[in-house]
Amino acid sequence: MGFFYSQFFATPSYPKQSFANQTVLVTGANVGLGLEAARHITRLGAARVILGVRNVNAGQAAKQDIEKTTGRSGVCEVWEVDLASYQSVLAFGDRIAQLPRLDVAILNAALATETFQTAEDHERTITVNVISTLLLGLLLLPKLQATRREVPSTHPRLSFVVSEVHAWVKLPEWRADKPMQKLSDPSHAKMTERYPVSKLLEVLLVQELAGRVRGSEVIINMINPGFCHSQLTREAGWTMWAMKLVLARSTELGSRTLVAGGAAGLESHGSYMTDGHVENTALSPFVRSDEGRQAREKLWLELSPILESVRPGIMQTV
């Protein structure tokens, strides 16, 4: 399904599936798609909704807003996590591990910037959108698996919010010994393409992760919400503002796709969802090619020792 057709003619279904008794995590939940997804999930009866946010004050405001609009108090909790800091991600993951259960995790937090900065020895977008996001996913996996064993009535989901823009860029750096390290070299950093490149890396690595985890234990999927009004592009200029006026979905419409991913069935395991449905043909030709498979394997080999250095033994979970 083409980008323009999706933006103008496809309407993601209004979420109706119950989340009763479930514990759900949404990162980047203080604004935009994450906030609206958390609102839907609270409305749909979740017992506990954890708002993973970098800005706690904004998270508290989001919590109050959700409670006011849904009429449900005492459901949302605001937990701090900064994906630019491995220690913050570790602390957050360890806190999640203490929960009695975790049914759904929607990893939505991301960064879009054209300013080159480093965080944890990599360019900041790579750290936030790729390395820390996969780190968090692996930290959550044992609790999701345990929930599946202990609560047979639930089938936990781990959903990664990606983007169709992964198909708008090439990745010649995949041929390097360490592609993410090369992308973190200022001389190879085309920051105007950095967000799409980060989403391409994320797609490839999530595919690899899903291939290593049985869908019968945890459903792992990727969600493309489409081009939406959100805070993600707040650093962009007037061109992006004009594009949003013409093309962008409302934040609420886009958030429906996140909820769909968090409620999707086994058919979505390892798959790419767009407009709330599995649509693997919408993945870029590169991702579906033999070169894409080679890039995926090379990226996993680069990622593994990075994550092992942050949390020894973490790669034994997959």
Catalytic site residues?
Answer: 195, 199
The three-class DSSP label of residue 233 is coil
Measured CA to CA, the distance from residue 217 to residue 145 in angstroms comes to: 6
Amino acid letter, 262 = G
Please name the helix (run of DSSP H) or strand (run of DSSP E) that holds residue 258, with its range, or none: helix 251-263
> What is the spatial distance between Cα 285 and Cα 280, in angstroms, rounded to a whole number?
11
- With beta carbons less than 8 A apart as the criterion, state whether 283 and 272 touch: yes
The string of DSSP codes covering 102-161 is --EEEE------SS--EETTEEHHHIIIIIHHHHHHHHHHHHHHHHHHH-TT---EEEEE
Residue 76 backbone dihedrals phi, psi, to 5 degrees: -85, 140
Amino acid residing at 102: L
Q: Is there a contact between 224 and 7 (Cβ–Cβ < 8 Å)?
A: no
Looking at this protein, which amino acid is placed at residue 136? L
Strand partners of residue 249: 228
Q: What is the DSSP letter of 214?
A: -
Q: What is the distance between the alpha carbons of residues 264 and 276, in angstroms, rounded to a whole number?
A: 9
β-sheet bridge partners, residue 224: 274
Q: Can you read off the two tokens belonging to residue 152? A: 């047979």
Q: Which of 203, 214, 183 is nearest to 287 (CA)?
A: 203
